[in-house]
Every structure is written in C-alpha cells, then in structure tokens.
Structure 1
Amino acid sequence: MGEAQEVQLRIMDQEAKDQTNLPQYTSITDQCSPAPQTRNYRRWIRMSIYTVFLLAGQSAATLLGRLYFVKGGNSKWMATLVQLAGFPVLIPFYLISTTSKPSTNDSQIKSPSVTTLALIYVSIGLLVAAGCYLYTIGLQYLPVSTYTLICASQLAFNSVFSFFLNAQKFTPFIINSLVLLTISSILLVFNNESSDGTSGVSKAKYAIGFTCTVAAAAGFGLVLPLTQFCFNKVIRRQTFKAVLDMIIYQQIVATSVIVVGLFASGDWKGLTREMDGYKMGKVSYVMNLVGTAISWQVCTIGCVGLIFDVSSLFSNAIGVLGLPIVPVLAVFVFNDKMGGVKAISMVLAIWGFISYAYHHYLDDRNCKDEKRNADEVSKAPMLES
C-alpha cells in the first residue's frame, strides 16, 4: 500500500507477469527431481518463511513508524529516510540475477542509452522520494488504522493511470474494485476521530494528513504504470536484472534526495535534541529507527522471495492478506478506535483488493492457457513428422 519498498516491488510484480514466453521452472524441476516430495516440502517451508517475512515486516514497519512520532520524534525527513536507506539488501539478489544467462530475445534487443536510463531512474526516483515524504506526513498526523486504509486507494489510482499509459482495460472486477476503494476512502473523510480527542491532532492536521496520504497514494499509483510504460517502450527487456536495475537505481536517487532534504531543512541539527527528549530513551530511539529500516527490508526479502519461488500473483495476494493486520494491531498498540465507519471502510477495502486480485488471477490463468495452446500448436508439426 503506502510502503515504499513494497511499491517498488510491485514493479517486479507487474513485469514478471509479462514473461509468458518463459518456461515455468518450478514445474520442470519438480518433474525432473529424483525426490519431488522432498523438494516440494522444502519449497513449502521457504514459502512459509517468505510469507511471514512479508506480513511481519510490513506490519512492524508501519507500527514502528507511527511509534516514532507518538513518542516524541518530529523529523519527517529522518522518518522518510529509514523507509529508503535499506535498499542494499537487494544487492545479493542483483548479483544472483547477473549470473543468469539472458534469453535470445533479450540479447538481440538494443539497450537504451545511458542518458535515457538516467532520465528514467531520476524521474521515477524523485516521484518515489516525494511519495515517501507525503506518506510520512500522513503517518504523523493520522491514526495508523486510518492511514493504512487510505493507502489502499493507491490501487485505484494505479488502475486509472494504467488505463491512460498502458491501455489497461477496465473489466467488471477492476471497476468494482475502484468503486469499493473510492467509497472506502470517502467514508474516512466523515470519520470523527480527528475531533474526539483520541487521535491527539487537530482537525486541520487531520485534514493535512489525509490530503498528503491521498496525494502520496496517487503518486505511487503513477509509479508502477509509468515504470511499466518505460519497460515496454524504452527498456524493452523483461529480465529480472533489468527490474532490479530499475528498483535499486530509483532507490539510490530517492535516498539521495531525502538526505539532501534532511540537511537542507536543518532537521539534522535537532536530531540529538530529539533523541534526548524521546520518551522511551536514547537507546529506544535508535532501535526504533534501525528497526523500521530493517522491517522494511524484511518485507522486501519476503516479496522478492515469493516472486522468485512462487509467482508475482501469489506475492500480490499475500500483500492483500496483510491489509487488515495493521488496523487491528493499531487498536491494541495505539488504542485506535475501530468504530462502525472505519470497520465498514476496512471491509470495503478488503473486498476491493480481493476483486482486483481475482481479476489478475483470471488474467494470469488466461496467459498460461494461451501459452499452453501455443506450445501444443508448435509441437504438433514435430509429432506428425
């Protein structure tokens, strides 16, 4: 949803689905393995570990981010930096991807110029940096449960921008998802938690947080369709290495922008004072920031692992599964109120995500059916001869 690392991994999510010309290595290895049951057993263990990493990392990072502000943290730049600075965790995956041989089709495609690639990485990296900063403002002023539900509107923006940039068709399932997610966010506008004294912020700050979170959702909703557009029209390589190039270089740009903002704004001067005044102590202050960064990277490893070991669709589905976790945990950790309006909003958001995921399930199944039919047609002449 609003998480920077997770949004970046949606790029792999979308691009991996387009690789229908590649064989499904898992089924091939399972058939050729002398001990398929053992391989399946190990694969299920890995899947379970990656799933826990994704859900735990996503939930912990969001809660720790809110805890930073609740206990006395004030630097929006620092809170944004910890979302991005852990991108080196992807370097091992990058090294693995460089050892794999490119396909014949990819090796024949002319690579774009360095200037063109740099322009793409910088442009999208700036969008990511701006989106992360806006999300941080939302997390500072909104209850975690409300913040998480508003982040769900990113999916609606994603579909709209995909319609214009990548000619995505609006199927009944996508339209249903858009309507539900829109209603879910609109309901939160009428939520009265900003005026009941429990949120600790004024109506004005609640409005600022709400607006910034929606703006960030729109920005990140543009990132994935724009990235897909660049892959289809400019890069034209559907390889895992190309996707990791996009993610890592974007993260470098975004991190650099936030570091510049941290020093240019003068926030860095108050970090020592902020640490001294942190309600839970200096050690807890440092552990909060480190824990937030690590949690995002744990989530990243889980996402990448599921895409590697299962499929992009499954990784997306697990991310959807985590939607209600943070609002429920926020009720116990921060005493967030789960009133009727917010509960209805959460149900509508989950329903919208399920509708969207089901659309991609059908799309993925149709792609596999088309590939299987094409393989059968190509093998038919060989059998006749």
Structure 2
Amino acid sequence: MGEIQEVQLQIKCQESKEVSAKSGSDESESTSPMKGSKRYNWWLRVTVYAFLLISGQSVATLLGELYYDKGGNSKWMATLVQSAGFPFLFIPLIVVKVYLSPPTSSTTTITTEHSASISTLALLYISLGVLIAGNGMLYSYGLLYLPVSTYSLLCATQLVFNATFSFFINSQKFSAFIFNSLILLTMSVVLLAIDPDGSSNSTTIPEGKNVIGFICTLSASAGYSLLLSLTELIFRKVIKNETILAILEMSISTSVVSTCTCLVGLFASGDWRRLKNEINEYGEGGVSYVMTLVWIAVTWQVSYVGLLGLVFEASSLFCNVISTLGLPIVPIFSVIFFHDKLDGVKIVAMLLSLWGFVSYIYQHYLDDCKAKETRTVHDQNEEKR
C-alpha cells in the first residue's frame, strides 16, 4: 500500500513539473511580443525627446541671437532666461502626477526606500543648478561675441569633451566609429580656429572680442559635457527612478537654483539698472523685447526636458550626439534670418560635423543589431530548455 502511494506521489510530481514547464514556455512566448513592444516604446520616447532637444535648442539659439541683434546687451538677462522658464513645466508635472503616476504599491515602496534622501538630492540639485548658471553665462558671452553660425559649430566640441568625461565618469566604451566621430568633429573645430575670417564676419562684433567668444564657447561646451555626464551618474547611482516624473522634478529643481543664482548676479553686478534703457532702445519695441525673452525661456526648458530624457533613456554621450545633430540647422537659418556669412570653410566644417554624427549613429545601429542577436540566441536556448 505504501509503495502504491509512493508511485502516485511521483506521478503527481512529474505532472506538476510538466505543467510548470509548459507555463514557463507560455510565459516566455507571451513576453517575447512584450520585448518588441518595449523596444518600440523606447524608440518612440527617444524620438520625442530628440525632437524636444533639437527644436528647443535651435529655436532658443536663434532667439538669443535675435535678442543681441536687436539691441539686447545684458549677459545676465540672457543667462537668466535659459533657466527662468521652469514655471511652464508645472503644467506637465501636474498632469503626470494626477493622470500618469502609477498607484502606490509594494514595488513603489521598495524603490522609494532605495532612493536618495531629500538632503542628498537637494545638495546635488544645488550643485547642478550653479553649474548650469555658470555654463549659461559662458554661452551668453560666446553668443554675444561670435556670429551664430561660428558659435553653433564650435558647440560641436561638446561631443569630444563628453566622450572624455563619459569614459572616466560613466565607463563609456569606445569603438572605431566613435573615435572616427570624435576626430571628424575635432577637425571641424580646427577649421574654424584657423579660418582668418570665420570669427570676424559680423560688423557688430568688436575685433578683439572674438577670441573671448571663442574661449567662452569652448569652455561652455566642456561644462555642458560635464553636466551631462554628472546627470547620467546621478540618475544611475543616486535617483534610480528613471521616469518622466523624475525628469520633470530634476529639471524644475535645477532650474530654480540656476534662476536664483542668475538673479543674484543680475542685482549684484548692477546690470538690472540698465534694463529699462535696454527695453526702450530695443529695435522691435518693448513688447517684442518681453516676448523674445519669454520664448527663449520656454524653448530652453523644452530643450532641457529633452536633454534629461535622452540621458536616462540612453546615455549622456548619445544625448550629446543628438544635440550635435541640431547644430548644423542653426547656421542655415542664421543665413536666412540674420544674413550671416556662410563661407566654404564653415560648409566643410558643417559636413564634417554631420559625418561625425552619422559615424556615431552607425555604431549605435551596430550595437542594436548585436543586442538583437544576443536576445534571439538567448530566447532560442530558453525554448530548447
């Protein structure tokens, strides 16, 4: 009798194993379409963030040139509007919190426990905000003392700086195509540096100020690249909550700190006393002056949201490559709207920048294909088991 029960018990155990194996295979089959869906959603998010970054960056740069071209001269004001548009982000923040935030669960509780403390986040946001303000001031000097086409192409050096920071801070791996991209972008900047007329093609810029604009723009590119690498590090190691809510909260928090820093500089330097005369002497009138600054503030915030989204969806280097893609767009529009000179040297530099971008994107394509092959082999091995 005991032997019969033992045989029945073995049969039941074998049946349960078969059922669990079948359910496991069913789960793997059901999750395979989800992988394709997740990849589609990832590319969709990346596309949206890339559009926000490129469009916001291009329009903000052109409006910044318009501000200087029509009589604006306050570098603190030009820096302030780069971060002062954060109140506009409260609208999507409220929408996300009310309609898109997942309900509180045990998983959410665990994630919150492992996230950074408020004091740690406050310290990090303050540091990033001050860095953004200082970097914005350097960009303001560069845009004031350089033609917009030269300024935009010089900003391509941020990819070279970012590659260096990513290697040491984010453990970024490099391939031949990435190195090719860096070399091409470096060559494009060298062409601008040795061009005798490349940085003096605007009659409104004092001759001795071109070197200052060149140095400030390069320094700003290095600071921008450091900011991206530090942001990626904070997302990966500290925040550990890669959602649209975290992006908006970080964007608003750092922009508040940067705005306060710029306001202190604006009043401490006495630059605020000259704003009334600046408004009255603005070429298009006071209303146009205010609207120009408002739209600069809005477009920079749009760009910043796209920047943070690309950093945590991909990497800081990938974000910088997308940002570099938008740089050749600005010189084209500057020729149309500001009658800026686009000579042969700048055209060659622009083509080299585009070549460098394509080289990096091709490497990303190869990595994507390799990842697909790895997943396919893994799924086949799971099915055989």
How far 1:48 sits from its partner (Å)?
9.6
How far 1:147 sits from its partner (Å)?
0.4
Residue 236 of structure 1 corresponds to: 240
Are 1:107 and 2:106 counterparts?
Answer: no
Residue 223 of structure 2 corresponds to: 219
How far 1:241 sits from its partner (Å)?
3.1
Aligned positions of 1:277-316 closer than 5 A:
277-299=281-303
Question: Could you report, residue by residue, the CA deviation over 1:101-128 in whole angstroms, capped at 9, with x for unpaired residues?
Answer: 5894983552222222222111122111
Residues 164 and 28 of structure 1: CA distance in aligned 2, closer, same or farther (over 3 Å): closer
Given that 2:155 and 2:221 are in contact with CA atoms closer than 8 Å, whether structure 1 keeps it comes out as yes
| Distance in 2 between residues matched to 1:259 and 1:24, nearest whole Å | 52
Give the % identical residues.
Answer: 48
Determine helix, strand or coil for the equivalent of 1:84.
Answer: coil
Q: Which protein has the larger Cα radius of gyration, Structure 1 or Structure 2?
A: 2
CA RMSD of aligned residues (A): 3.7
| Distance in 1 between residues matched to 2:227 and 2:319, nearest whole Å | 18
| Distance in 1 between residues matched to 2:310 and 2:125, nearest whole Å | 25
Are 1:64 and 2:55 counterparts?
Answer: no
Residues 167 and 23 of structure 1: CA distance in aligned 2, closer, same or farther (over 3 Å): farther
How far 1:343 sits from its partner (Å)?
1.1
| Distance in 2 between residues matched to 1:25 and 1:78, nearest whole Å | 48
| Distance in 1 between residues matched to 2:116 and 2:47, nearest whole Å | 39
| Distance in 2 between residues matched to 1:181 and 1:161, nearest whole Å | 16
Give the length in aligned residue pairs.
Answer: 347
Determine helix, strand or coil for the equivalent of 1:287.
Answer: helix
1:256 aligns with one of 260, 268, 276: 260
Given that 2:135 and 2:220 are in contact with CA atoms closer than 8 Å, whether structure 1 keeps it comes out as yes
Given that 2:247 and 2:309 are in contact with CA atoms closer than 8 Å, whether structure 1 keeps it comes out as no
How far 1:379 sits from its partner (Å)?
6.3
Residue 90 of structure 1 corresponds to: 89
More divergent stretch after superposition (319-328 vs 195-204): 195-204
Equivalent position amino acid for 1:99 in 2: S
| Distance in 2 between residues matched to 1:138 and 1:366, nearest whole Å | 41
Aligned positions of 1:1-385 closer than 5 A:
28=37, 55-95=54-94, 96=96, 99-100=101-102, 104=107, 107-108=110-111, 110-193=114-197, 198-299=202-303, 319-371=323-375, 373-374=377-378
Which sections of structure 2, spanning at least 5 residues, go unmatched?
A: 1-30
Which sections of structure 1, spanning at least 5 residues, go unmatched?
A: 1-21, 32-42
How far 1:317 sits from its partner (Å)?
7.3
TM-score by length of 1: 0.77
How far 1:144 sits from its partner (Å)?
0.5
Given that 1:193 and 1:199 are in contact with CA atoms closer than 8 Å, whether structure 2 keeps it comes out as no
Determine helix, strand or coil for the equivalent of 2:171.
Answer: coil
Given that 1:177 and 1:355 are in contact with CA atoms closer than 8 Å, whether structure 2 keeps it comes out as yes
| Distance in 1 between residues matched to 2:344 and 2:219, nearest whole Å | 25
Question: Could you report, residue by residue, the CA deviation over 1:263-297 in whole angstroms, capped at 9, with x for unpaired residues?
Answer: 11111111111111112222221222122223334
More divergent stretch after superposition (104-113 vs 124-133): 104-113
Residues 123 and 47 of structure 1: CA distance in aligned 2, closer, same or farther (over 3 Å): closer
Determine helix, strand or coil for the equivalent of 2:339.
Answer: coil
Residues 307 and 221 of structure 1: CA distance in aligned 2, closer, same or farther (over 3 Å): closer
| Distance in 2 between residues matched to 1:120 and 1:238, nearest whole Å | 16
Equivalent position amino acid for 1:65 in 2: G
Given that 2:169 and 2:229 are in contact with CA atoms closer than 8 Å, whether structure 1 keeps it comes out as yes
